[in-house]
Amino acid sequence: MALEHALLVALRERPAAGLDLARRFDASIGYFWTATHQQVYRVLGRMERDGWVTSRVVPQEGRPEKKEYAVTTLGETVLADWLAQPLQRDPVRSAVAVTLRGASYGDRDTVLAHVEELIADHRTRHAAYTAMAARDYPDPTALSGQALDQYLVLRGGLLMEETWIAWLTEYAAAHRPAHRTAAQEPR
């Protein structure tokens, strides 16, 4: 539903081929959207059919040629119209939360071990975002326009990672003491 618009934003920032876009969704855009290359190719095909983007074949040195996509004026209009829509809260669908809430119906020690692993993963991601911010936006107060928006969305990624770490840590802490000291919970 909105992958098309995420692609329009990405392509307006810089024209790119399908795989390039898929890689961006793995890396720099990954903190607010994920997409596989299959998905990207299919949606790009539909967008080209509808005239939102055009493609041109670009030969490369020592690599197979690629199809670089760019946004058309129609695509610009479509994006501007979409951006003018009222914002709705993003739908929540957290398998992690389901697991945490249901932990007493399974083996809690296993869940807690997995929570620790997940915390480590979020810490790693947080460190990566911090490094990106320091490298790409050393002086945030000087930013405006697109660069400011990009920085602020990266800030959102950072804040979300911090929240996940705080929440999962609180969850683990609330369960571990009772688990270490009291003999009341046999399993």
Span 80-109, contacts to DNA by CB under 7 A: 91, 93
Which of 89, 135, 180, 187 contacts a second copy by CB under 8 A?
89
DSSP summary character for residue 16: B
Contacted by 117, from a second copy, DNA, none: CB < 5 to 8 Å by type: a second copy
Closer residue to DNA in complex, CB, 26/116: 26
| DSSP three-state, residue 177 | helix
Cα 110 to its chain centre, rounded Å, is 27
Size of interface with a second copy, in residues (CB under 8 A): 74
**Alpha-carbon distance 65 to 88, whole Å?**
40
CB-nearer residue toward a second copy: 32 or 41:
32
Task: Establish if 79 lies at the interface with a second copy (CB under 8 A).
Answer: yes
Taking CB within 5 to 8 Å according to partner kind, which of DNA, a second copy, none is near residue 144? a second copy
In angstroms, give the least distance from the CB of 13 to DNA.
17
Q: Which is nearer to DNA, 11 or 35 (CB)?
A: 35
- First-residue to last-residue Cα distance in the chain: 45
Question: Rule CB under 7 A: is residue 39 a binding residue for DNA?
Answer: yes
Tokens for 21? 């876009």
CB 18 within 8 A of CB 37: yes
Site for DNA in 111-170 (CB under 7 A): none
Q: List b or e across 104-125, with b for residues whose CB sees 16 or more CB atoms inside 10 angstroms.
A: eeeeeeebbeebeebbeebeeb
Task: Give the interface with DNA as residue ranges (CB under 7 A).
Answer: 1-3, 17-20, 34-39, 41-45, 60-64, 66-67, 91, 93
